[in-house]
């Protein structure tokens, strides 16, 4: 688990949530993407999808410790320009429902103060409380500094030859058009399936970890019992 930004993010509770991060430019290193995600909150895991050849693909899944971090990532990282592409940061329907429930509970706890983010379609924007706005500004400043640190690689000329420039521009225009609209149904289904697969894998790993820990504790207990028995025999 990586360190989050130096901003003192308090654990606001709630379920762990997973965001889809796509349209990652080849100019943006995986280390940069990891650091950007960590600026928004406590990252439990970041899984960058790999192709059959082992090459990192242009998308992955980030699991945050609590909803506040996920909401901040949606606000500050979605459509963030990295190199020649804008990041695509989304959540599936299940996660969106979890976030809405969490925000409703938080509003109730805070006496009706609204705290949230833009809807995925961008049509509606909720009013953020002063503390959330302050934190967003601090994190945004840290993100800007990070991008400036990586400016040399993000602004590096493309390796495409002159003969490929036209095709590259057409491809970029198509990607921009995709970013400007909701994900198509089949892509949305793909994201949901991938997130579900990610959750299942993570759950199995946690269960296996818990099982091994239980076995370790049991062995430790048995060892202590044997030691005590030997001491009694010597007496």
Q: What is the pLDDT of residues 191-227, one digit of tens each?
A: 767 777 777 777 777 788 888 888 888 888 888 888 8
Q: Give the H/E segment covering residue 122.
A: none
- Structural tokens at position 69: 């971090």
Q: Which residues of the chain have pLDDT under 70?
A: 1-13, 111-127, 158-190, 192, 235
Q: At 49, which CATH number?
A: 3.30.70.330
pLDDT value for 171: 61
Q: Considering the entire predicted model, what is its pTM?
A: 0.61
- Structural tokens at position 152: 């040399």
Q: Is residue 53 a part of any domain in this protein? A: yes
pLDDT value for 203: 73
Total domains in the chain come to: 1
pLDDT value for 229: 80
Q: Which residues contact 64 (CB under 8 A, 6 or more apart)?
A: 16, 17, 18, 19, 40, 41, 42, 43, 44, 70, 73
pLDDT value for 69: 94
pLDDT value for 178: 53
Q: Is residue 159 a part of any domain in this protein? A: yes
DSSP state, 154? H
pLDDT value for 119: 46
Domain of residue 156, residue span: 17-183
pLDDT value for 63: 95
Q: Is residue 225 a part of any domain in this protein? A: no
pLDDT value for 225: 84
- By the 8 A CB rule, do 87 and 37 touch? no
- Structural tokens at position 18: 């997973």
Q: Is residue 202 a part of any domain in this protein? A: no
Within 7-129, where are the H helices? 30-39, 67-76, 93-109
pLDDT value for 126: 63
Beta partners for residue 50, in sequence order: 56
- Structural tokens at position 164: 């490929």
């Amino acid at each position: 688990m990586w360190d989050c930004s130096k901003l003192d993010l308090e654990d606001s509770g709630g379920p762990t949530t997973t965001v889809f991060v796509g349209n990652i430019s080849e100019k943006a290193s995986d280390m940069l993407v990891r650091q950007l995600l960590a600026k928004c909150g406590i990252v439990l895991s970041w899984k960058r999808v790999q192709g059959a050849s082992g090459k990192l693909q242009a998308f992955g899944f980030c699991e945050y410790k609590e909803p506040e971090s996920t909401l901040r990532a949606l606000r500050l990282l979605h459509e963030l320009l990295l190199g020649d592409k804008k990041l695509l940061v989304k959540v599936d329907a299940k996660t969106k429902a979890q976030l809405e429930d969490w925000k409703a509970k938080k509003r109730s706890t805070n006496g009706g103060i609204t705290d949230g983010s833009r809807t995925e379609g961008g049509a509606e924007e909720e009013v953020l409380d002063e503390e959330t706005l302050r934190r967003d500004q601090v994190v945004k400043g840290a993100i800007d500094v990070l991008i400036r640190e990586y400016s040399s690689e993000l602004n590096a000329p493309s390796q495409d030859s002159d003969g490929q420039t036209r095709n590259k521009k057409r491809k970029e225009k198509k990607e921009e058009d995709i970013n400007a609209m909701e994900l198509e149904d089949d892509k949305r289904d793909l994201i949901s399936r991938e997130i579900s697969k990610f959750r299942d894998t993570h759950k199995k790993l946690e269960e296996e970890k818990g099982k091994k820990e239980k076995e370790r504790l049991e062995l430790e207990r048995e060892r202590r019992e044997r030691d005590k028995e030997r001491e009694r025999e010597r007496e």
